[in-house]
Chain A
Amino acid sequence: DTGVSQDPRHKITKRGQNVTFRCDPISEHNRLYWYRQTLGQGPEFLTYFQNEAQLEKSRLLSDRFSAERPKGSFSTLEIQRTEQGDSAMYLCAGRQGEKLFFGSGTQLSVL
């Protein structure tokens, strides 16, 4: 078990609604990443935290997306005013040394 858990596993929402996902890494993962994966593609980097500081954001992360890691432990990713194009698997990963440990992801479907 990599120790990274994500909640929920699946989320179905209507266009225009807000959604929030949660990621719980293990304590050794001071670095935390969010990726997005659509069908037939590899994971795409969204954002990265070192402890509670958000140090890098992708241009993919529009102003409708916001991520937090308030105490340097769990992290949340919120999408406001969801669009159908936001439908994807959202992956969280903790880093230990040079390895990324991925969670199982949250599958978002926007209807």
Chain B
Amino acid sequence: AQRVTQPEKLLSVFKGAPVELKCNYSYSGSPELFWYVQYSRQRLQLLLRHISRESIKGFTADLNKGETSFHLKKPFAQEEDSAMYYCALRGVQGAQKLVFGQGTRLTINP
């Protein structure tokens, strides 16, 4: 079974502090992992995916197969990072379904 766990429903940090949003997954094969973000009054949108190994808005995420984790990190948080963040997994190669975690609401305090 495919499962994504985001252990923190709420996370609050001060502006300029480092941020880490945790994501753990359960899947026996080789997964594709994604982070989606929803800013206030906006649609859910893709932030980044592990395959592209890119940094978007200063965020990075590394897939750790040994720990089955895909934590999202940013060294210096900005107020505009406040949003709902969802980790998602696509399992079997070519499969279409994305399985989402419960989400973490990130609040950046000034």
Q: Which residues of A contact B (CB under 8 A)?
A: 2, 31, 33, 40-45, 48, 55-56, 58, 91, 95, 98-104
Asked whether, in the complex, the Cβ of A104 is within 8 Å of the Cβ of B97, the reply is: no
Give CA–CA (A2, B45) in the complex, Å: 9
Give CA–CA (A100, B45) in the complex, Å: 7
Given A2-B43, A100-B46, A103-B43, CB of A42 within 8 Å of CB of B96: no
> Which of B6, B44, B46 has the most CB atoms of chain A within a 10 A radius of its CB?
B44
Asked if B102 lies at the interface with its beta carbon under 8 angstroms from chain A, I say yes
Pick from A55, A100, A103, A104: contact of B98, CB below 8 A: A100
Given A33-B96, A48-B97, A98-B49, CB of A40 within 8 Å of CB of B44: no
Count class of interface residues, chain B: 20 to 34
Give CA–CA (A42, B97) in the complex, Å: 14
Given A41-B102, A42-B101, A98-B49, CB of A91 within 8 Å of CB of B44: yes
Q: Report how many A-B pairs have Cβ atoms within 8 Å.
A: 47
Asked whether, in the complex, the Cβ of B102 is within 8 Å of the Cβ of A42, the reply is: yes
Tell me what chain A mostly uses at the interface: helix, strand, loop, or mixed.
strand
Pick from A44, A99, A102: contact of B43, CB below 8 A: A102
Give CA–CA (A56, B90) in the complex, Å: 14
What are the residues of chain A within 8 A of B70 when measuring CB–CB?
none
Pick from A44, A55, A103: contact of B96, CB below 8 A: A55
With CB as the reference atom, state the residue of chain A lying closest to B90. A98
Asked whether, in the complex, the Cβ of A42 is within 8 Å of the Cβ of B45, the reply is: no
Q: A38 to nearest B CB, angstroms? A: 10
What are the residues of chain B within 8 A of A33 when measuring CB–CB?
96, 98
> Which of A31, A42, A48, A102 has the most CB atoms of chain B within a 10 A radius of its CB?
A42
Pick from B32, B45, B100, B103: contact of A44, CB below 8 A: B100
Q: Which chain B residues numbered 1 to 60 have a C-beta less than 8 Å away from chain A?
A: 4, 6, 9, 32, 36, 43-46, 49, 51
Asked whether, in the complex, the Cβ of A45 is within 8 Å of the Cβ of B45, the reply is: no
Asked whether, in the complex, the Cβ of A102 is within 8 Å of the Cβ of B45, the reply is: yes
A-B pairs with lowest CB-CB distance, top 9: A42-B100, A102-B44, A45-B97, A48-B96, A102-B43, A43-B100, A99-B46, A42-B86, A42-B103
